[in-house]
Amino acid sequence: MKYVVHPLKLALVLILLLGACSGPRQQTLRGLIDQVENSFVPDSRVDQFNVQVSGGSPFLLSGETTNAEAKQALLDSLAEANISYTDSIKVLPSAEIGEKIYGVVNNSVSNIRSEPRHSAQLATQALLGMPLQVLKKDGGWYYVRTPEDYLSWIDSGGMHQMNEAEYLEWKSAEKLIYLDTYGFAYSSPSKSSEKVSDLAAGNILKLEGSNGSYYRVSYPDGREGYIPKNEATPFANWNNDLQATRESLVQTAHSMMGIPYLWGGTSTKGVDCSGFTKTIYLMNGLIIPRDASQQVHAGTRVDDEKNWDQLQAGDLLFFGSPATENRSRRVVHVGMWIGNNQFIHSSRQVRISSVDSTASNYDAYNTGRYLESRRYLGNTEGNVIRTNDMYDDILFP
């Protein structure tokens, strides 16, 4: 991210620091910290800037951030204002992680939670084989960044930590992607053998070879198993041959019909509304932002007035409440247009609804709170990456 300071905001705070307010000096310093956070870390789901101030002459700055440029902007501003300080702000990854700042998801679906405990809210999920950046540790939990930049906590059983050499070996190895909605890996090339694990669509494993009608694979932690060839394909072949089209997006969406709604879910075991649209695009070679309120900032807007004839299959529809004088706009739901005045979405379960008031599946509630639609195919501006770039230096510049 380019180092940019908002001049008007910074000038205002510097005036306050230099004595143009009657509040305590520590309080005005807190204001500067807040301004830097607002400028550099506007979304706490993808970056953190938790800085505290105490004492005085010099002030003690403590806390942590995932954004080194935000920290430097704060220190530069303090120096310009002749404010003395002691810097104890940590930039993640934490030193206690050591060299193993790389992680690869080790279960078919790993739950990633908002806090480091199993009873915490499910924030999102990550699929087997996906890379993670490991930032810090709390007991048996790790604070990680996912490929779509989401920050949350995963338990130690959900991923396998690696150092740089181990990660580069995993990254360069030939891989396999699982394509069926749900299945298993077996201990030998037979469905009658013991299961090694379950599998979900989008799982990625290391391809070790083949045995008859089975692929031989290995997991990030070294376990080995066998997967029927008619349920998976080499990742490189899939990725190179993949052409995301309106038709393929609709086909993928239909394959998930009836999957139950799960808050925080992003897999074929259960999905929330944005987890569903994220999974549709993932299985078509694109990694899009996690939440509906983030997805609405990617792609290109194609409608905001219910001109349904302007939409194409694969466009995402966003729902919520518009901005008012006292409240900003809230995007709280998302679905995907499939044509014929219908959209598919996860609400109770994955289902199809219509914007046509004469249709039997007319969704008056969501049609009434419609905000806009955006197109991703051919218009992927924003935080959208291709799956073939997932193992490149996106997480680890």
Which active-site residues does the annotation give? 273, 333, 345
d(CA 276, CA 253): 8
Nearest to 187 by CA among 214, 205, 161, 206: 214
Report the b/e string of 225-240 with b at 16+ CB within 10 A. Answer: bbbbeebbbebeebbe
- Which two structure tokens, joined as six digits, stand for 125? 């999920």
The kind and range of the H/E element at 172 are helix 164-172
d(CA 377, CA 249): 10
d(CA 322, CA 126): 31
| Beta-bridge partners for 334 | 318
- The radius of gyration of the chain's CA atoms, rounded to the nearest angstrom, is 24
Chain centre distance of CA 166: 24
For residue 78, what is the DSSP state? H
For residue 260, what is the DSSP state? B
In terms of Cβ atoms closer than 10 Å to its own Cβ (0-12, 13-18, 19+), residue 253 is buried
Which residues have a Cβ under 8 Å from the Cβ of 172 and sit 6 or more positions away?
Answer: none
Pairing label, strands 102-105, 141-145? unpaired
- Phi then psi for residue 210, to 5 deg, are -145, 160
Contact indicator for 104, 162 with CB cutoff of 8 Å: yes
d(CA 312, CA 373): 10
Pairing label, strands 85-91, 59-65? parallel
d(CA 288, CA 297): 10
